[in-house]
Amino acid sequence: MLISDRRIQVVTLLWQLYKSRRLALQGGASWSRCRVHTKLAMLLFSLSATVSAGEFDYSTRDLLDLSLEELASLEISSVSKKPEKLSSVAASVFVITADDIRRSGAVSLPEALRLAPNLQVARIDASRYAISARGFNSTAANKLQVLIDGRIAYTPLFSGVFWDAQDVVLADVERIEVVSGPAAVIWGSNAVNGVINVITRGAAASRGDLLVLGAGNLEQQLVVRHGGALAAGGDYRVYAKLFNGEESQFADGAAAGDDWHRAQLGFRVDMEVAGQLTLQGDVYDGREQQLDADNIEIQGVNLLSRWQSELENNSRLQLQAYYDHTERDQPGVFAETLDILDLELQQQIELGAAHDIVWGVNYRAAWDDVSSSPVLAFLPARRKLEWSSLFVRDEISLQENLRLSLGVRLEYNTYTHLEVMPNVRLAWEVTADNLLWASAAQALRSPSRLDRDAFAPREDPRLLGGPEFESERLNSVEAGYRGLLLPNLTCSVTAFYHQYDDIRSLEPVGSGQLVFANGLEADSYGLEFWGEYQPRAHWRLSAGGTLLREDVRMKAGSADLNGGRGEVNDPSHQWFLRSSMDLGDNFQLDLSLRHVAQLATFAVPAYNSFDANFAWYPTDGTRVSLSMRNLFDSQRPEFGNAVMRSEIERSVYVQLSQKF
Amino acid sequence: MYNYRRNFKPMLERILFAISARGRPRLLEWLLVSLLLVPAVTAVAASGTDATAATRLKAAFLYKFCIYVEWPAASFADASAPLVIGVAAEKRVAGELEQVVVGRRINGREVQVRRIKSGDDIDGIHLLFLGQAALAAEPDWWSRVQNKPVLVVADSAAELTPGIGINFVPEDARLRFDVDLVVAAEQGLSISSQLLLVARRIRKVE
**3-state SS, residue A313:** coil
pLDDT at residue A54, rounded to an integer: 44
The answer to whether residue A48 scores a pLDDT higher than 50 is no
Tell if the CB–CB gap between A27 and B182 is shorter than 8 Å.
yes
Q: Which domains are present in chain A? A: 10-23+85-659 (2.40.170.20), 32-79 (no CATH)
pLDDT digit string (tens) for A176-196?
A: 989 999 999 988 889 999 999
pLDDT digit string (tens) for A221-237?
A: 999 999 988 877 788 99
Tell if the CB–CB gap between B53 and A71 is shorter than 8 Å.
no
Tell me how far apart the alpha carbons of residues A395 and A392 are, in angstroms, rounded to a whole number.
10
Contacts of A55 in chain B (CB under 8 A): 53
Between A116 and B11, residue with greater pLDDT: A116
Task: Give the mean model confidence (pLDDT) for residues A603-630.
Answer: 94
Helices of type H across A28-162 = 35-52, 60-63, 68-73, 98-104, 109-113
The answer to whether residue A435 scores a pLDDT higher than 80 is yes
* A127 in reach of chain B (CB within 8 A): no
The answer to whether residue A489 scores a pLDDT higher than 70 is yes
pLDDT at residue A391, rounded to an integer: 94
Nearest beta carbon to residue B201 from set A31, A74, A277: A31
pLDDT at residue A30, rounded to an integer: 33
* B196 in reach of chain A (CB within 8 A): yes
pLDDT at residue A427, rounded to an integer: 92
pLDDT at residue A490, rounded to an integer: 87
Contacts of B117 in chain A (CB under 8 A): 207-208
* B175 in reach of chain A (CB within 8 A): yes
Q: Which domains are present in chain B? A: 4-46 (no CATH), 53-203 (3.40.50.2300)
Tell if the CB–CB gap between B175 and A76 is shorter than 8 Å.
yes
pLDDT at residue B131, rounded to an integer: 84
pLDDT at residue A88, rounded to an integer: 64
Highest mean pLDDT among A428-432, A578-582, B118-122: A578-582
Name the average pLDDT for chain A: 85
Residues 56 through 95 of chain B touching chain A, CB cutoff 8 Å:
56-57, 59-61, 63-64, 68, 89, 91-92
Is A225 in contact with A206 (CB distance < 8 Å)?
yes
The answer to whether residue B19 scores a pLDDT higher than 70 is no
Contacts of A48 in chain B (CB under 8 A): none
**3-state SS, residue A432:** coil
CA distance A541 to chain B (A): 20
Contacts of B104 in chain A (CB under 8 A): 64
Between A101 and A536, residue with greater pLDDT: A101
Per the DSSP assignment, residues forming a β-bridge with A177 are A95, A197
Read off the pLDDT band of A342 (50, 70, 90): very high
Tell me how far apart the alpha carbons of residues A629 and A106 are, in angstroms, rounded to a whole number.
10
* A27 in reach of chain B (CB within 8 A): yes
Q: Where is A605: in which H helix or E strand? A: none
pLDDT digit string (tens) for A164-175?
A: 999 999 999 988
The answer to whether residue A514 scores a pLDDT higher than 50 is yes
Read off the pLDDT band of A410 (50, 70, 90): very high
Nearest beta carbon to residue A17 from set B137, B158, B173: B158
pLDDT digit string (tens) for A149-166?
A: 999 999 999 999 999 999
Read off the pLDDT band of A351 (50, 70, 90): confident
Tell me how far apart the alpha carbons of residues A650 and A171 are, in angstroms, rounded to a whole number.
24
Task: Give the mean model confidence (pLDDT) for residues B130-142.
Answer: 79
Nearest to A259, CA basis, from A217, A301, A222, A299 = A217
CA distance B25 to chain A (A): 15
Highest mean pLDDT among A39-48, A589-598, B93-102: A589-598
Tell me how far apart the alpha carbons of residues A615 and A599 are, in angstroms, rounded to a whole number.
34
Task: Give the mean model confidence (pLDDT) for residues A1-25.
Answer: 31
Task: Report the greatest alpha carbon distance in chain A.
Answer: 88
Q: For the residues of A550-578, what is the DSSP string, one character each? A: EEEEEPTT---TTTT-SS----SEEEEEE
Residues in chain A: 660
Read off the pLDDT band of B28 (50, 70, 90): low
Tell if the CB–CB gap between B160 and A64 is shorter than 8 Å.
no
pLDDT digit string (tens) for A98-122?
A: 889 999 999 999 999 999 999 999 9
Nearest residue of B to residue A19, measured between CA atoms = B158
**3-state SS, residue A350:** strand
pLDDT at residue A309, rounded to an integer: 83
Read off the pLDDT band of B91 (50, 70, 90): confident
pLDDT at residue A75, rounded to an integer: 67
Q: Where is A654: in which H helix or E strand? A: strand A651-659
Between A380 and B5, residue with greater pLDDT: A380
* B6 in reach of chain A (CB within 8 A): no
Contacts of A61 in chain B (CB under 8 A): 99-100
**Per-residue CA distances from A493 to A430, A436, A483, A543, A545 (Å):** 15, 10, 9, 12, 10
CB-based burial, A277-308: b 16+ in 10 Å, e otherwise: bbbbbbbbbbbbbbeeeeebbbbbbbbbbbbb
For chain B, the first-to-last Cα distance in angstroms comes to 60
Read off the pLDDT band of A534 (50, 70, 90): confident
Tell me how far apart the alpha carbons of residues B206 and B201 are, in angstroms, rounded to a whole number.
15
pLDDT at residue A173, rounded to an integer: 93
Sign of CA dihedral B161, A271, A113, A7: positive
Lowest mean pLDDT among A539-548, A624-633, B43-52: B43-52
The answer to whether residue A284 scores a pLDDT higher than 70 is yes
The answer to whether residue A2 scores a pLDDT higher than 50 is no
For chain A, the first-to-last Cα distance in angstroms comes to 42
pLDDT at residue A188, rounded to an integer: 87
Read off the pLDDT band of A635 (50, 70, 90): very high
Nearest to A17, CA basis, from A85, A65, A100, A76 = A85
Tell if the CB–CB gap between A201 and B136 is shorter than 8 Å.
yes
Read off the pLDDT band of A521 (50, 70, 90): very high
Dihedrals phi, psi of B145, to nearest 5 degrees: -110, 0
Read off the pLDDT band of A505 (50, 70, 90): very high
Nearest beta carbon to residue A283 from set B15, B36, B53: B15
Residues 147 through 166 of chain B touching chain A, CB cutoff 8 Å:
156-162
Between B49 and A4, residue with greater pLDDT: B49
Lowest mean pLDDT among A141-145, A345-349, B89-93: B89-93
Give the rounded percent of residues in chain B with a pLDDT score beyond 90: 24
CA distance B168 to chain A (A): 10
Between A525 and A46, residue with greater pLDDT: A525
- Indicate the DSSP class of residue A373: -
Give the rounded percent of residues in chain A with a pLDDT score beyond 90: 64
The answer to whether residue A263 scores a pLDDT higher than 80 is yes
* A312 in reach of chain B (CB within 8 A): no
